[in-house]
Amino acid sequence: MPSFKDRLNPQILEFVAKVRSGEYQRLIKARLGSYKWFFLGALVLILLLLSIAIGRRISRRQTDVYIPPIVELPTPTQENQKTSVFSSLKRSLVDFNISLPDPAIPTFDNNINLEANNL
């Protein structure tokens, strides 16, 4: 009875030997190495589209909107203004000007000469 390896196709045996030795792995790595930037770009594009889709789903989600109740404000009642005998004194104190004048007014001398005196 022939063995298992004898019954296989010789091309399959050659392929299995190349896979075990790592020859196909080096060949695939060399071919895919030149396309690594394309893979990286595609990965970034997929992540970008995925994040946009997730953001849209989150933004369209129904949320309960809290509407505060309308509170009716009472209208103020009109009260008569109370007057006092000290109202004029209070008004004069409120309107009092706290800025004081300059204490010493400089004298104005019209005969100032800035040129040197030739004596």
Q: What is the pLDDT of residues 67-81, one digit of tens each?
A: 888 888 888 788 877
Q: Where are the beta strands (DSSP E) in the chain?
A: none
The pLDDT tens digits of the residues spanning 20-55 come to 888 888 888 888 888 888 999 999 999 999 999 999
Instruction: For residue 96, give Cα distances in angstroms to 90, 91, 93.
Output: 10, 8, 5
At 29, the amino acid letter reads: K
pTM: 0.36
